[in-house]
Structure 1
Amino acid sequence: MTDVVVVESPAKAKTINKYLGGDYKVLASFGHVRDLPPKDGSVRPDEDFAMDWESEDRGERQVNEIARALKGARRLFLATDPDREGEAISWHVQDMLARKGALKGVEVRRITFNEITKRAIQYAIAHPRDLDAPLIDAYLARRALDYLVGFTLSPVLWRKLPGSRSAGRVQSVALRLICEREAEIEAFKAREYWTVEGRFTTPQGAPFTARLTHLDGKKLDQFDLPDEASAMRAKAAVEAGTFSVVSVEKRRVRRNPPAPFTTSTLQQEASRKLGMGAQQTMRTAQQLYEGVDIQGETVGLITYMRTDGVQMAREAITAIRDHVKDSFGADYLPGAPREYSSKAKNAQEAHEAIRPTDVSNTPDRVARFLDDRQRRLYELIWKRAVASQMQSAELDQTTVEIADPARKTVLRATGSVIAFDGFLKLYREDEDDRAADARAGLVTGAQEDEESRTLPPMRERDPLKRGEISALQHFTQPPPRYSEATLVKKMEELGIGRPSTYASILQTLQDRDYVKLDKRRFVPEDRGRLVTTFLVHFFERYVDTGFTAGLEEQLDDISGGKIDWRAVMRAFWDDFRKAVDATKDLKISDVIDTLDEELGPHFFPERGDGADPRVCPACAGGRLGLRLGRTGAFIGCSNYPECRYTRPLIAPGAEGEGATGLTEGPRELGSDPASGEQVTVRRGPYGVYVQLGEGGTDAKGKPTKPRRASLTRDMDPDTLDLDRALKLLSLPRVVGRDPESGEEIQAGLGRFGPYIKVGSIFQSLEPGDDVLSLGMNRAMELLAKARAKVRLVGPHPKDQAPVEIRKGRFGPYVQHGKVVANLPRNLAMEDATLEQAVALLAEKGKELKPMAKGGKGKAKAKPAAKANGAAAPADAAPARPAPRKAATAAKPAARKPAAAAAKKPAAAKAKPAAKPAARKAPARKPAAKA
Structure 2
Amino acid sequence: QLYEGVEIAGETVGLITYMRTDGVQMSQDAIMAIRDHVKSEFGADYLPGAPREYVTKAKNAQEAHEAIRPTDVGLRPQDAAQYIAGPQLRLYELIWKRAVASQMQSAELDQTVVELVEPTGRTRLRANGSVIAFDGFLKLYREDADDSEADRRAGIASAGAEDDDTRTLPPMREGEATKTRDVSSTQHFTQPPPRFSEASLVKRMEELGIGRPSTYASILQVLQDREYVTLDKRRFQPSDRGRLVTAFLVSFFERYVNSGFTAGLEEQLDDISGGRAEWRAVMRAFWEHFSRAIEATKDLKISDVIDRLDDDLGPHFFPAADDGRDPRLCPACSAGRLGLRLGKTGAFIGCSNYPECRFTRPLAVPGAEGDGGGAFADGVRQLGADPVSSQEITMRRGPYGIYVQLGEPGVDEKGKPTKPRRASLLRDMDPEGITLERALALLSMPRIVGVHPEKAEEIVAHLGRFGPYITMGALSKTLDKDDDVLSLGLNRAVTLLADAKPRGLVIGLHPGDGEKVEVRRGRFGPFLMHGKRVANLPRGTEMEAVTLDEAVTILAEKGKELPPLKGAKGRAKAKPVKVGPKVTAAPAKATAPKPATKKPATKKPATKKPATGKPAAKKNPPARSAAKKSATQA
TM-score (normalised: structure 1): 0.39
Number of equivalences: 413
Q: Is the 8 A contact 1:614 1:624 kept in 2?
A: yes
**AA aligned opposite 1:520:** R
Which of 27, 35, 39 matches 1:321? 35
- Equivalent position of 2:328 in the other structure: 614
- Equivalent position of 1:450 in the other structure: 167
CA distance in 2, matches of 1:466, 1:363: 40
Q: Which sections of structure 2, spanning at least 5 residues, go unmatched?
A: 375-427, 435-463, 468-479, 497-518, 529-536, 540-559, 564-634
CA distance in 1, matches of 2:262, 2:538: 48
- Output one character per residue of 1:58-104: Cα deviation in whole Å (capped at 9) or x when no partner: xxxxxxxxxxxxxxxxxxxxxxxxxxxxxxxxxxxxxxxxxxxxxxx
**AA aligned opposite 2:325:** A
The DSSP-based 3-state class of the residue aligned with 1:549 is helix
Q: Is the 8 A contact 2:116 2:125 kept in 1?
A: yes
**AA aligned opposite 1:604:** F
- Output one character per residue of 1:36-59: Cα deviation in whole Å (capped at 9) or x when no partner: xxxxxxxxxxxxxxxxxxxxxxxx
CA distance in 1, matches of 2:349, 2:112: 59
CA distance in 2, matches of 1:294, 1:851: 54
Alpha-carbon offset, residue 389 of structure 1: 0.5
What does residue range 639-718 of structure 1 map to in structure 2 within 5 Å?
639-652=353-366, 653-656=368-371, 662-665=430-433
Q: C-alpha root-mean-square deviation of aligned residues, in Å? A: 4.4
- Output one character per residue of 1:181-238: Cα deviation in whole Å (capped at 9) or x when no partner: xxxxxxxxxxxxxxxxxxxxxxxxxxxxxxxxxxxxxxxxxxxxxxxxxxxxxxxxxx
- Output one character per residue of 1:441-484: Cα deviation in whole Å (capped at 9) or x when no partner: 79862247731x3254224xx99999999875332212212222
What does residue range 529-544 of structure 1 map to in structure 2 within 5 Å?
529-544=243-258
Summarize the Cα distance change of 1:599–1:701 in structure 2 as closer, same or farther, 3 Å threshold. closer
- Equivalent position of 2:202 in the other structure: 488
Q: Does 2:76 align with 1:359?
A: no
Which of 93, 101, 111 matches 1:387? 101
Alpha-carbon offset, residue 433 of structure 1: 3.3
The DSSP-based 3-state class of the residue aligned with 1:446 is coil
Summarize the Cα distance change of 1:531–1:693 in structure 2 as closer, same or farther, 3 Å threshold. closer
CA distance in 1, matches of 2:107, 2:129: 16
CA distance in 2, matches of 1:487, 1:434: 18
- Output one character per residue of 1:253-308: Cα deviation in whole Å (capped at 9) or x when no partner: xxxxxxxxxxxxxxxxxxxxxxxxxxxxxxxxxx4334444455443332333433
The structure with the larger Rg is 2
CA distance in 1, matches of 2:248, 2:483: 50
Q: Is the 8 A contact 2:130 2:165 kept in 1?
A: no
Alpha-carbon offset, residue 331 of structure 1: 2.7
CA distance in 1, matches of 2:179, 2:15: 59
- Equivalent position of 1:759 in the other structure: none
Summarize the Cα distance change of 1:395–1:704 in structure 2 as closer, same or farther, 3 Å threshold. farther
Summarize the Cα distance change of 1:704–1:476 in structure 2 as closer, same or farther, 3 Å threshold. farther
CA distance in 1, matches of 2:71, 2:209: 29
Which of 291, 300, 306 matches 1:592? 306
- Equivalent position of 1:517 in the other structure: 231
The DSSP-based 3-state class of the residue aligned with 2:286 is helix
The DSSP-based 3-state class of the residue aligned with 2:297 is coil
What does residue range 531-610 of structure 1 map to in structure 2 within 5 Å?
531-610=245-324
- Equivalent position of 1:254 in the other structure: none
Summarize the Cα distance change of 1:506–1:860 in structure 2 as closer, same or farther, 3 Å threshold. farther
Q: Is the 8 A contact 1:435 1:448 kept in 2?
A: no
The DSSP-based 3-state class of the residue aligned with 2:260 is helix
- Equivalent position of 1:208 in the other structure: none
CA distance in 2, matches of 1:701, 1:637: 47
The DSSP-based 3-state class of the residue aligned with 1:499 is coil
Alpha-carbon offset, residue 604 of structure 1: 1.0
- Equivalent position of 1:341 in the other structure: 55
CA distance in 2, matches of 1:551, 1:691: 52
- Equivalent position of 1:504 in the other structure: 218
- Equivalent position of 2:140 in the other structure: 426
CA distance in 1, matches of 2:484, 2:248: 50
Summarize the Cα distance change of 1:686–1:302 in structure 2 as closer, same or farther, 3 Å threshold. farther
Q: Is the 8 A contact 1:355 1:381 kept in 2?
A: yes
The DSSP-based 3-state class of the residue aligned with 1:595 is helix
Q: Is the 8 A contact 2:230 2:236 kept in 1?
A: yes
What does residue range 773-812 of structure 1 map to in structure 2 within 5 Å?
none
Q: Is the 8 A contact 1:850 1:858 kept in 2?
A: no
Q: Is the 8 A contact 2:160 2:191 kept in 1?
A: no
CA distance in 1, matches of 2:237, 2:430: 20
Alpha-carbon offset, residue 495 of structure 1: 1.7
CA distance in 2, matches of 1:567, 1:654: 49
What does residue range 4-15 of structure 1 map to in structure 2 within 5 Å?
none
CA distance in 1, matches of 2:278, 2:239: 40
CA distance in 1, matches of 2:207, 2:265: 15
CA distance in 1, matches of 2:8, 2:362: 55
**AA aligned opposite 1:384:** R
**AA aligned opposite 1:337:** P
Q: Percent same amino acid among aligned pairs? A: 66
CA distance in 1, matches of 2:3, 2:488: 53
CA distance in 2, matches of 1:422, 1:540: 48
CA distance in 1, matches of 2:75, 2:140: 16
More helix by share: 1
Summarize the Cα distance change of 1:635–1:890 in structure 2 as closer, same or farther, 3 Å threshold. farther
Alpha-carbon offset, residue 365 of structure 1: 3.6
Alpha-carbon offset, residue 593 of structure 1: 0.7
Alpha-carbon offset, residue 612 of structure 1: 0.3
**AA aligned opposite 1:539:** F
The DSSP-based 3-state class of the residue aligned with 1:582 is helix
Q: Is the 8 A contact 1:310 1:341 kept in 2?
A: yes
Alpha-carbon offset, residue 525 of structure 1: 1.8
**AA aligned opposite 1:307:** T
Q: Does 2:88 align with 1:374?
A: yes
- Equivalent position of 2:624 in the other structure: none
**AA aligned opposite 1:450:** R
CA distance in 2, matches of 1:424, 1:581: 59
Q: Which sections of structure 1, spanning at least 5 residues, go unmatched?
A: 1-286, 667-683, 706-848, 863-870, 874-888, 893-930
- Equivalent position of 1:199 in the other structure: none
CA distance in 2, matches of 1:702, 1:545: 61
The DSSP-based 3-state class of the residue aligned with 2:23 is coil
Q: Is the 8 A contact 1:401 1:410 kept in 2?
A: yes
**AA aligned opposite 1:542:** Y
Q: Is the 8 A contact 1:636 1:644 kept in 2?
A: yes
Q: In terms of mean alpha carbon deviation, does 442-451 or 550-559 score higher?
A: 442-451
CA distance in 2, matches of 1:382, 1:341: 19
**AA aligned opposite 2:97:** K
